[in-house]
Structure 1
Amino acid sequence: MAEQNWRVLIVDDEPPIRAELNYLLKQDARVGQVEEAGGATAAVEKILSFRPDVLFLDIQMPGTSGVQLADSLHNLKHPPAIVFVTAFSEYAAEAFELDATDYVLKPVEQARLEKALDKVEATIAARKPASTDEPVRRIQGERNGKRSYIPVSEIAYIEARADYATAYTQAGGYLVNDSISVLERRLASEGFLRVHRSFLVNIDDVRDIEVLKPSGLIQLTLEHAATRIPVSRRRAPGVKKQLGLA
């Protein structure tokens, strides 16, 4: 296991849970310093001063929820990787819409925590600048129980599926064991653009752009996929610029 020395911040309003998670995290060689916060206000102060690499975040807390706190972190230049830790599985979909690295249910077990830290490692690695200019030619996927290496040029779009994704080609969909956020960073130089929290699109595959009335929302028609991809309001300005519409 590689030495990483991550700075980790635990945010939970229950001290016994923070203490247990703190102990478990320190059993992993990748974890360096661990600090704690009992709520969102204290967490913001810690984030600005401690600058954690990883945030283990409870969802249900008095006042500002973990989801609200995570959403606000998108404004940071270098936001931490977020792992939600909660007793409630029904928040999973909302958590992954916020580009969470993982979602762990309480009580946390060491084996499950190690899997979460593996995903954290992949997320942090994907955020680092590439050491070479070598393009990404293929990504690994699975279809009908068979693993394949999919040429990136053949992928029309990628759709988020919780903490993994599905890459769609003219031949069909392939399960990819990476989050859409990791794939967004890996494939940015290959002409892929995040147009929605759930969709990453191959710009070369866009055939038609439609502005829906009266909402003004945009949707994309792709050359090699029998579907229309919505563009979120938040991402619309960047998409228009990339497509030469702004």
Structure 2
Amino acid sequence: MNILIVDDEPLARSRLRRLLAECAVNAVVTEAASAEQARQLAASLQPDLVLLDISMPGESGLQLAEAFANSTLPPALIFVTAYPEHALAAFNVHPVDYLLKPVSLSQLQRSLQRACQLNRLQQQPLELPLVSYQHAGLQKTVPLTEVLFFAAEDKYVRMQLADQNILLDKSLHQLEAAYPQLLRIHRQTLINPLYLTAIRQPATGPALAELVQGKYKLPISRRALGTVKQALHS
């Protein structure tokens, strides 16, 4: 595996390199101090995985991630940053994980496991499932990967995207049958497990599924809690 670490801070790069060594991965690790240098290295190295900081001088990590995502065979991306407020924008390029500094060994190990699974999938030409809906009399579609969750509300279902929500005239049962990738966490809620980042247990009330680093907190039913925990760690 070829791994590229992109961070403008030398100490941060050294720490990630040390953690990778402790993970005992069979990898060639290369470092870049800027997005420009990362682009040059990636052209020749063709990295399988990029550990990417977001806030850097010049081109940001988000801009670099978009460039990687649009390449012919994109590498797996793991954001490693000190800034949780970038999480929502970061998930638009579908990273494997979004880790906050300082990263622990166990966090990195879990992210590497996810990255290896993703890389195998990247070798296969997959068609992205689309969700269709009506808007202003027009039939439109949105990739399922851009949907954070579906929530039943009165006679409609709300489809939550990163920057907007859309009302659908479909039931959760229809959506669940059409898109087995979705995860039911409650009788009123289906989530996209791509955006599941944590499970919280308040002192009172139900457990909460945190999506996009806590941007959304959705109740989990007792019946679904075990399945949601399994999805988080898979």
Question: TM-score of the superposition, structure 1-length normalised?
Answer: 0.54
Residue 178 of structure 2: SS of its match in structure 1?
strand
What is the CA–CA distance in structure 2 between the aligned matches of 1:50 and 1:81, rounded to whole Å?
Answer: 14
| Contact 1:9–1:34, Cα closer than 8 Å, also in 2 | yes
Note the residue ranges of structure 2 that are not aligned, 5 or more in a row: 126-172, 197-234
Give the counterpart of 1:155 among 177, 184, 191.
Answer: 177
Q: Does 1:81 align with 2:76?
A: yes
Structure 1 counterpart of 2:64: 69
| Contact 2:73–2:122, Cα closer than 8 Å, also in 1 | no
Residue 19 of structure 2: SS of its match in structure 1?
helix
Structure 2 counterpart of 1:128: 123
Structure 2 counterpart of 1:48: 43
- Once the 2 structures are TM-superposed, how far is the Cα of residue 18 of structure 1 from its aligned partner? 0.3
What is the CA–CA distance in structure 1 between the aligned matches of 2:77 and 2:31, rounded to whole Å?
Answer: 14
- Once the 2 structures are TM-superposed, how far is the Cα of residue 74 of structure 1 from its aligned partner? 2.6
| Contact 1:81–1:123, Cα closer than 8 Å, also in 2 | yes
What is the CA–CA distance in structure 1 between the aligned matches of 2:107 and 2:122, rounded to whole Å?
Answer: 23
Q: Does 1:27 align with 2:28?
A: no
Residue 30 of structure 1: SS of its match in structure 2?
coil
- Once the 2 structures are TM-superposed, how far is the Cα of residue 113 of structure 1 from its aligned partner? 0.7
Structure 2 counterpart of 1:101: 96
Give the counterpart of 2:31 among 36, 41, 55.
Answer: 36
Cα pair distance change 1:42/1:75, threshold 3 Å: same
What is the CA–CA distance in structure 2 between the aligned matches of 1:44 and 1:21, rounded to whole Å?
Answer: 19
- Once the 2 structures are TM-superposed, how far is the Cα of residue 119 of structure 1 from its aligned partner? 1.4
- Once the 2 structures are TM-superposed, how far is the Cα of residue 93 of structure 1 from its aligned partner? 1.1
What is the CA–CA distance in structure 1 between the aligned matches of 2:105 and 2:14, rounded to whole Å?
Answer: 14
The one-letter amino acid of 1:11's match is V
- Once the 2 structures are TM-superposed, how far is the Cα of residue 124 of structure 1 from its aligned partner? 1.3
What is the CA–CA distance in structure 1 between the aligned matches of 2:81 and 2:9, rounded to whole Å?
Answer: 12
Residue 85 of structure 2: SS of its match in structure 1?
helix
What is the CA–CA distance in structure 1 between the aligned matches of 2:188 and 2:113, rounded to whole Å?
Answer: 29
User: What pairs up with 1:141-152 in 2 under 5 angstroms?
Assistant: none
Note the residue ranges of structure 1 that are not aligned, 5 or more in a row: 1-5, 131-150, 159-164, 181-246
Residue 27 of structure 2: SS of its match in structure 1?
strand
Q: Deviations over 1:40-90 (max 9, x none)?
A: 110000100111100000000000000011111233111110000000111
What is the CA–CA distance in structure 1 between the aligned matches of 2:174 and 2:42, rounded to whole Å?
Answer: 36
What is the CA–CA distance in structure 2 between the aligned matches of 1:68 and 1:175, rounded to whole Å?
Answer: 27
Supply the RMSD in Å over aligned alpha carbons.
3.0
Structure 1 counterpart of 2:87: 92
What is the CA–CA distance in structure 2 between the aligned matches of 1:71 and 1:129, rounded to whole Å?
Answer: 20
- Once the 2 structures are TM-superposed, how far is the Cα of residue 127 of structure 1 from its aligned partner? 2.0
Residue 26 of structure 1: SS of its match in structure 2?
helix
